[in-house]
Amino acid sequence: MTDPLTPYGNKPMVTPIVNAVNYEYKSFEVLRQITDGEIDGYTYHRDDNPTVRAVESKVAAMENAQDCIICTSGMAACSLVYLTYLSSGDNLILFHDIYGAHYKVSLMLERMGIDVTWVNADEGERLAEYVKPNTKMIFCETPSNPLCKILDIEQCARIAGEAGALLIVDNTFATPFHQLPLEHGAHMVVHSATKALGGHNDLMAGAIAGSKEDYEKLWFSRQALGTTLDAYSASLLERGLKTFEMRAERMSQNALAVARCLEKHDRITRVCYPGLESDPGHATACRQMARGFGGVLAFDVGETQDDAKRFIGNLEKIVHAVSLGATETLICIPYLTTMLYMPPERRVGFGVQENTVRLSAGIEQESVLLEDITQALQKL
């Protein structure tokens, strides 16, 4: 059987985009071998795709995982984890300090009989107090979205292990360049691969990295629900991974420079970035992160949302847009965008303010960013 990734007899420099939905069987014996897992092969795109499989192996290697599942979005990845491992009557611990769309998913999980406990990441030291006899999963994000709060992964893993629960870590903000949660005891790692892994604002994908056993379980859920990524997006993701480390390093350097600049400005009332020595999570971040602290930070502009809006309106180079991890520096007000899924009182209950701004540093020259931020603040 010809390997679809080496169609010319030798290996192309770029993984071929295999758009086939289905595949011809050379014989019933080959069909049996494929479906029984005796040989590698493909039958239908919802099951597997060679272009997708190629990028899965690359992401798994980046996270030091045995295998990886790639699906259609970051929230699809998170939802696959929930639906695969949780049942009616189970307790799920979530932190307020995660992407706002989890709130929507939690409402659906509750309708399915899953008990959801919400914890503030500021209370991470007291996590054990929130564990119940029926706790089956702890899901966290560190650094968190959008306030970049830091949770001690090893501590969370220890508490989860004592409870017989799974610890799932969203590594989107940190990326595997800076943090490897599996090495600190996490059971699985999830990513919005739309962000820094892809890096160019041109694809949507999610990733779950873990053991081979977890891959098999998650594959079953993905196949059943039909959330396999398309081959073209998988090719874009693989292309993004080729420059990932260079981009991650520059984004982290830019984010630290911006955070230090903002920390000194009298129009900025708070800066949240674990790379600052003044940040509450700095010591823990230094233990579990490497080569920097990621490309995202949050800060409060002035005293009101109007102050934040004027600041963003004054920017000339930095782009007002959602998402993060892109080559361009992006900025938004979470209260009006990424947390819009949540009731107003929940948006501010754990530290986000109406004038809180989230900035995702790109790969521009540091001086360009600092000059743009400085001139925008001077106009307030």
pLDDT, average across residues 260-275: 97
CA angle 153, 295, 228 (to 5 degrees): 70
CATH architecture, range 28-242? 3-Layer(aba) Sandwich (3.40)
pLDDT of res. 142: 98
Domain boundaries, the chain: 28-242, 244-378
Residue 70, strand partner residues: 207
pLDDT in tens, 149-181: 999 999 999 999 999 999 999 999 999 999 999
Q: Do 206 and 220 form a contact (C-beta atoms < 8 A)? A: no
pLDDT in tens, 122-158: 888 899 999 999 999 999 999 999 999 999 999 999 9
Fold of 244-378: Aspartate Aminotransferase, domain 1 (3.90.1150)
**pTM greater than 0.85:** yes
pLDDT in tens, 289-308: 999 999 999 999 999 999 99
Distance CA 256, CA 155 (A): 26
pLDDT of res. 4: 57
pLDDT, average across residues 340-360: 90
pLDDT in tens, 367-376: 999 999 999 9
Q: Do 187 and 166 form a contact (C-beta atoms < 8 A)? A: yes
pLDDT in tens, 63-98: 999 999 999 999 999 999 999 999 999 999 999 989
pLDDT in tens, 224-248: 999 999 999 999 999 999 999 999 9
pLDDT of res. 339: 87
pLDDT in tens, 182-230: 999 999 999 999 999 999 999 999 999 999 999 999 999 999 999 999 9
The b/e string for 323-336 (b: 16+ C-beta within 10 A; e otherwise) is bbbbbbbbbbbbbe
Instruction: Assess whether pLDDT exceeds 50 at residue 1.
Output: no
